Amino acid sequence: MKRLSVMVNMLLLASLGLFLFAGVVFLMGINSQEDEQEGETLNFVMEREAMYYTRLADKKVQCRLCFRNCEITDGERGECRNRVNRGGTLYTIIYGKPSAIQIDPIEKEPQYHMLPGTLILCFGTAGCNFRCRFCQNWHLSQQSLEEMVQVYLVSPEEAVEEAIKRGIPTISFTYNEPTSFYEYVYDIAKIAKTRGLNILWHSNGAINPEPLRELLHYTDAVTIDLKGFTEEFYKETCSAKLKPVLNTLKIIKEEGVWLEIVNLVIPTLNDDPEDIRRMCEWIRDNLGTQVPLHFSRFYPAFQLTNLPPTPVETLERAYSIAKDVGLEYLTIGNVPGHPCNSTFCPKCGNTLIGRIHFQVIENNIQKGKCRFCGEVIPGIWQD
């Protein structure tokens, strides 16, 4: 097998045309056909039995990873497109095969209370267990492995070594749903924690409790998309369910893993003020007042190009509702330059972290406290 080649290209990534961020994209690849001709195999990407499934009669299996609990007949795949039944054994076909590898600012996740101003090494693959009509990364999440324009072959060990070599403190699993490539996430996370790295993942939250709790043992922080607050919205817009997401949020809080929540506000679909109020009250009553909540602006994408971008006034109204309910750490996202993209101290009102979109321009947190009044600020901070 030819040695895995690593080519690093420096790119200037435009953030909605308002400022430039210096990004790095890693292109990792090998010629699989040539490798086969050389008589070598790629065991780490070709064969990985799936975790969390039950064997049934007639070579059927039932996947136990997410809320769908797919029953899969021999030769077929689950709803996520990444788990295949071969003769009564469930395999993940996406293991070691990311289609997106990139360095991002941690603020892009978003994670606003975790190591502000640092970089994350991000991995994404094909596949997802949701069918969101508004997905901005649909070219990954709503396609199968075979439809990917590019697939890189990267072992868990190589992923960890790349972060260490580049001096990046955190590995993140994002762009598509990490549940759909769970085993790859899990194996990278276990190795990464032995090497002193942080693990972050951004999820729709519809994972089952047992695999969730296991992965949280090797996780430092999670960003969960709370896409709406009605079962109707989840069913009609995402082909999914709300209840499993709420259960996941409570488990993350119980396990003591740092949690932040994103609510993408979509005009006419999930922007009802009363629903937003109920969502904020649920967060307050079940997760506490100190879980950061990010209201994010929708832009037309995928199957919802008929809708306009979210009016800024709608986001500001949601922000006001959440503040009135008693939530302490609120931001407005995808509106570069908006003052509420920054984080403010709930006690003295001064700016804790000033941001312009993904760029940190001011950090007034010292040893986990507000520099102005000494209020303890929850999160994961630099010493």
Domain count, the chain: 1
- Among candidates 236, 223, 207, which has minimal Cα distance to 132? 236
Mean pLDDT of 266-280: 98
pLDDT at 321 over 80: yes
Mean pLDDT of 317-333: 98
pLDDT at 278 over 60: yes
In a domain, 2, yes or no: no
For tokens 């990311």, the residue is 98
pLDDT at 5 over 70: no
CA angle 344, 330, 137 (to 5 degrees): 125
Query: pTM for the complete prediction?
Result: 0.91
In a domain, 36, yes or no: no
Other CB atoms within 10 Å distance of the CB of residue 333: 24
Summarize pLDDT for 59-88 with one digit per residue, the tens. 999 999 999 999 999 999 999 999 999 999
Summarize pLDDT for 157-197 with one digit per residue, the tens. 999 999 999 999 999 999 999 999 999 999 999 999 999 99
Q: Determine the pLDDT at residue 239.
A: 98
Average pLDDT, the chain: 90
Rounded CA separation 241/225 (Å): 13
Q: Are 52 and 41 in contact (CB under 8 A)?
A: no
pLDDT at 203 over 90: yes
pLDDT at 4 over 60: no
Q: Determine the pLDDT at residue 383.
A: 74
Rounded CA separation 255/169 (Å): 22
Work out the percent of the chain whose per-residue pLDDT is above 70.
88
In a domain, 29, yes or no: no
CATH number of the domain within which 138 lies: 3.20.20.70
- Residue 172's domain comprises 100-370
Q: Determine the pLDDT at residue 118.
A: 98
